[in-house]
Structure 1
Amino acid sequence: MFTGLIETVGTVATIRHQGKSAELSVEAGLTWTDLTKGESIAVNGVCLTLTGWSLNMIQFHALAETLHRSNLGEALHKKVNLERALKLGDRLGGHIVSGHVDCTTKVNAIAKNQDDIEIRCQIPKQHEAEIVQKGSVAINGISLTVADLTHDDFAVRIIPHTWNETNLSTLRQGDIVNIETDIIGKYVLRRLQLSGQNSAITMETLLNAGF
């Protein structure tokens, strides 16, 4: 499990395809001295298993499903956000991020304002019920709050620190980003789908309550 607070930014150095899967080597922006083979690290929000490392070069194996659902297959020589798994007792400064990316989506617009940067992303239709006003969403593994919501897209507001310390500053209109919606919202939505008309809880009551 992760919290969506990025520790460092790395660069994908190599992608070696092996059938439908691939081996990824990432040059991290810092050298971790306490890595353990088999531990989980989120790469652009995708939970991957560490298979090896040397100094600041870390290696992962990505399955076909991972490459299909995320932007990692097209990330060669690109910047990626890195976060190690949450430890028991750590502060949950962002929100609960599983590292199981739901899909990718397109950046519709980027607008730099005086105090922040607004990024508008296309709403993935298969996940539109999971994106709500003031709710949490992870973009490339970063814990963010939905600031605006329309039928076609949603917006997040980025403070300068997040912009400068993550790969968001490399984004351009039309780029593809990883999306993970709020896991708690998914469970609530699934419960509603199973309960049908017998539940007193509806999507309207959840939206009115801020979910």
Structure 2
Amino acid sequence: MFTGIVEELGEVTRVGRRPEGARLSVRGPLVTSDAKHGDSIAVNGVCLTVVEVEGDEFTVDVVRETLARSSLGQAEEGRPVNLERAMAADGRFGGHVMQGHVDGTGTFLNRDPDGLTHFAYPPELGRYIVEKGSIAIDGVSLTVAAVSAQEFAVALIPTTLSLTTLGRTQPGDPVNLEVDVLAKYVEKMATVHISGAPVDNGVGKEDA
């Protein structure tokens, strides 16, 4: 689990394309200080498993599904990325509940004179984005300041702009979006009472 409090601005140092996906190496002195094989690190909001640590760099394998559903499909050497280690059980909870499972990619639109930053979002995510609700953009936990049928806005403080990739994003750039997982659970549970349909919890008779 992650909280969306970015620990470090890292850098992609190597990208190796493979038939089944890609292998990325990322420089991040802080997150590699105690990293080991099998640990989870969120890279721009994508939960990835460490397969190798060497010096201040760690290496991860990224499957084709992840490349297709996130901005990591456009990863290239030298690109800055937001890094966060999985939350320790005794850690301080500063953001919101995040799984590191990207729901889709949005597009950075602009920053307006009122200090709000605007993003377009995929239509299928609209029902989960609500004013004053939580959303993760490239792994950064943020609060929705305004939302319309096609876009939403957040207020980014100077610290967020300077310490994360969001201060470097240009109009048209893709961003990873993870909506509030609690909203998705509530939707699934409420659907039963609205439609009368049984909940499909994935458990068959042979598993009961």
TM-score (norm 1): 0.88
Separation in 1 of the partners of 2:30 and 2:75? 19
1:22 aligns with 2:1: no
2:129 aligns with one of 128, 131, 156: 131
Q: Secondary structure at the match of 2:187?
A: helix
Q: Per-residue deviation at 1:195?
A: 2.6
Separation in 2 of the partners of 1:141 and 1:69? 14
Match in the other structure for 1:120: 118
Separation in 1 of the partners of 2:193 and 2:121? 26
Match in the other structure for 1:50: 50
1:63 aligns with 2:63: yes
Separation in 2 of the partners of 1:194 and 1:31? 42
The C-alpha deviation readout for 1:124-144, integer Å capped at 9, x for no partner, is: 101110111100000000000
The C-alpha deviation readout for 1:22-56, integer Å capped at 9, x for no partner, is: 10011125463321210000000000000111111
Separation in 2 of the partners of 1:146 and 1:193? 25
Q: Which runs of 5+ in 1 are unaligned?
A: 199-211
* Amino acid corresponding to residue 5 of structure 1 in structure 2: I
1:72 aligns with 2:72: yes
The C-alpha deviation readout for 1:135-194, integer Å capped at 9, x for no partner, is: 000000000000001111100000111111111111011110000000101101111223
Moved over 4 A (4+): none
Q: Per-residue deviation at 1:110?
A: 2.0
Q: Secondary structure at the match of 1:138?
A: strand
Q: Secondary structure at the match of 1:126?
A: helix
Q: Per-residue deviation at 1:197?
A: 4.6
Give yes or no for contact 1:110–1:173 (8 Å, CA) kept in 2. Answer: no
* Amino acid corresponding to residue 8 of structure 2 in structure 1: T
Q: Which runs of 5+ in 2 are unaligned?
A: 197-208
Q: Per-residue deviation at 1:105?
A: 1.1
Separation in 2 of the partners of 1:192 and 1:179? 23
The C-alpha deviation readout for 1:58-86, integer Å capped at 9, x for no partner, is: 10000111111100121212110000000
Q: Secondary structure at the match of 1:81?
A: strand
Match in the other structure for 1:103: 104
Deviation larger for 20-29 or 98-107: 20-29
* Amino acid corresponding to residue 81 of structure 1 in structure 2: N
1:175 aligns with one of 169, 173, 195: 173
TM-score (norm 2): 0.89
Separation in 1 of the partners of 2:162 and 2:87? 23
CA RMSD of aligned residues (A): 1.6
Q: Percent identity?
A: 40
Give yes or no for contact 2:8–2:31 (8 Å, CA) kept in 1. Answer: no
* Amino acid corresponding to residue 35 of structure 1 in structure 2: A
* Amino acid corresponding to residue 109 of structure 1 in structure 2: N
